[in-house]
DNA sequence: AAGTGGTCTAGACCACATA
DNA sequence: ATGTGGTCTAGACCACTTC
């Protein structure tokens, strides 16, 4: 355990136990320096980490204070579906149902992807049961290699994840009723409540891909644990 | 702009632009020290921040490398509903529909909350239209003050947020079909797809409250922007 | 064996918010 | 005016990993 970790842990414990309540002023840096017999840089690093984690707030001249929790946050990790399904102990299978150049009508429904583009649709299966229906549009100019890919054996998400450099993404979550076509693909009754996850991805301001993934409402647990400051 | 920020920005720009692709080795610390004419501590802090952000990976003896993007993540911020609705420019109103001591049957459906407990149900309105249906269970032993609260004028969430520090929360998201009772409360057709957000909150290992919030599928935009490394 | 990043020190100057 | 945190320096030693 480093000195920094020790300082962090001591303060974190007092906050989580409720001993130091929101608004409580924690010791000044120079006091912690004296208490731990270390340099100020080490104390500063420890407090900086706690501040980044949202556990404390730091104010010049005033000191550092236990933060008031403001909003509940959850980190939603949208893993690669093959891995997600494999982690559940199921066999993964991808079934391509459509792959074609995007028409003007396709792109009219998109915001931000210009021709040429590729439309890919398919169903992710776990143990041969439909798990998620996916429709994706890929910008060819941004990802030229995609034009030569069939996406027959592996879903485009995995392919992209492995080779597309860093991204900025926006996510949306909604509940929708399964359309008849969707219901058929997913093997559920028409009108079943489904979770719809939508994602737009950019690189350097250029949109790379837009994907809509639809899960039967009961088949996808998006549970996230959040500890303020971990 | 601090020296540290300048170093961070320079590296981040090269990564986001695609100039440095995943796996690329970025300059060693001592090279960045020479290039920027600063101390090693400053370079170390900059690279540490980039590593925490997931933009680079650092390996002793080998150097620092542009990370391979692994999963898409989204930070789901679950704001106080009155504020969320106010931010949409709508008038907020809370309508309490039930408040009673929890029965054994109530708690049988809960996991982790022991008697005594309080059950509170109500509907959040925006511009007098139902926006979200809420059912909450509050542990009285953990939050004794709640016993004296009516929750008539303000929802329990706001009351709790203002005075109860929490240290850990778990969230779940699901799509459900509106039950007849739910549909009546929300003013939608029975069977409508709804987003259901569930949250358990603890302090120091003791469960404080459990809440289920149900939104008509089209009425809640949970959109999150995620930039890897910000 | 060599070189990297991880951690730490004992100073320093400064911007800023408060009093 | 004062004292805080923010940033930085120029060293140092060490653990770890790869060579």
Q: Is B230 on the interface with A (CB under 8 A)?
A: no
Our measurement of CA B67 to C1' C4, in angstroms, reads 18
What residues 180-219 of chain A have any CB closer than 8 A to a CB of chain B?
191-196, 199, 201, 203-204, 215, 217-218
> Model confidence at B12, in pLDDT bands (50, 70, 90)?
very high
Query: Tens digits of per-residue pLDDT, A14-56?
Result: 988 888 988 999 999 999 999 999 999 999 999 999 998 888 9
> What residues of chain A score a pLDDT lower than 50?
229-230
Q: Which helix (H) or strand (E) holds A215?
A: strand A206-216
In angstroms, the separation between the Cα of residue A174 and the nearest Cα of chain B is 6
For CA atoms A104, A107, A108, A109, give the dihedral sign.
positive
Write the DSSP string, B120-186. EEEEEEETTEEEEEEEEEEETTT-GGGGG---SSS-HHHHHHHH----EEEEEEEEEEPPHHHHHHH
Q: A171, A205 in Cβ contact below 8 A?
A: no
Please give the structure tokens belonging to residue B74. 């989204």
Query: Is 0.85 surpassed by the pTM of this model?
Result: no
Q: Sort out which chain B residues have CB atoms less than 8 A from A18's CB and list them.
A: 165, 203-204
Number of other CB atoms surrounding residue B87 within 10 Å: 10
Please give the structure tokens belonging to residue B102. 């929890």
For CA atoms B211, B215, B220, B224, give the dihedral sign.
positive
Nearest to A82 by CA among A126, A121, A120: A126
* Cβ neighbourhood burial of A150 (10 Å; 0-12, 13-18, 19+): exposed
Contact check, Cβ <8 Å, B75/A70: no
Stronger pLDDT, B78 or B118, i.e. the higher one: B118
Residue B21 has pLDDT above 50, yes or no: yes
What residues 150-179 of chain A have any CB closer than 8 A to a CB of chain B?
161-162, 164-177
Q: Is A78 on the interface with B (CB under 8 A)?
A: yes
- Report, in angstroms and rounded to the nearest whole number, the Rg of chain B calculated over CA atoms: 24
Please report residues contacting nucleic strand D, using a CB cutoff of 7 A: A 28-30, 40-41, 44, 47-48, 51, 58-64; B 2-5, 37-42, 45, 59-62
CA distance A173 to B224: 9
Please give the structure tokens belonging to residue A152. 């027959």
Contact check, Cβ <8 Å, A165/B22: yes
Q: B44, B29 in Cβ contact below 8 A?
A: yes
> Model confidence at B220, in pLDDT bands (50, 70, 90)?
low
Q: B155, B149 in Cβ contact below 8 A?
A: no
In angstroms, the separation between the Cα of residue A70 and the nearest Cα of chain B is 7
Q: Which residue of A has its CA nearest to B76?
A: A74
Q: Sort out which chain A residues have CB atoms less than 8 A from B199's CB and list them.
A: 72
Query: Tens digits of per-residue pLDDT, B136-187?
Result: 999 999 999 999 999 999 999 989 887 777 777 888 888 999 999 999 999 9
Q: Sort out which chain B residues have CB atoms less than 8 A from A48's CB and list them.
A: none
> Model confidence at B229, in pLDDT bands (50, 70, 90)?
very low
């Amino acid at each position: 355990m480093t000195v920094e970790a020790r300082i962090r842990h001591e303060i974190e414990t007092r906050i989580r136990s409720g001993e130091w309540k929101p608004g409580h002023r924690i010791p000044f840096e120079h006091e912690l320096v004296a208490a731990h017999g270390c340099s100020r840089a080490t104390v500063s690093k420890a407090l900086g980490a706690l501040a980044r984690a949202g556990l404390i707030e730091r104010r010049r001249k005033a000191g550092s204070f236990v933060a008031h929790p403001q909003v509940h946050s959850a980190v939603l990790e949208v893993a690669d579906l093959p891995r997600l399904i494999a982690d559940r102990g199921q066999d993964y299978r991808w079934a391509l149902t459509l792959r074609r150049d995007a028409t003007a009508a396709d792109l009219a429904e998109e915001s931000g992807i210009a021709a040429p583009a590729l439309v890919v649709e398919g169903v992710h299966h776990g143990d041969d049961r439909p798990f998620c229906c996916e429709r994706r549009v890929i910008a060819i100019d941004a990802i030229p290699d995609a034009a030569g890919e069939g996406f027959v054996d592996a879903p485009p998400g995995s392919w992209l994840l492995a080779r597309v450099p860093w991204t900025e993404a926006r996510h949306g979550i909604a509940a929708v009723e399964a359309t008849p076509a969707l219901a058929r693909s997913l093997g559920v009754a028409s009108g079943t409540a489904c979770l719809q996850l939508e994602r737009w991805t950019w690189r350097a301001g250029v949109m790379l891909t837009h994907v809509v993934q639809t899960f039967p409402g009961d088949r996808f647990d998006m549970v996230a644990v959040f500890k303020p400051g971990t």
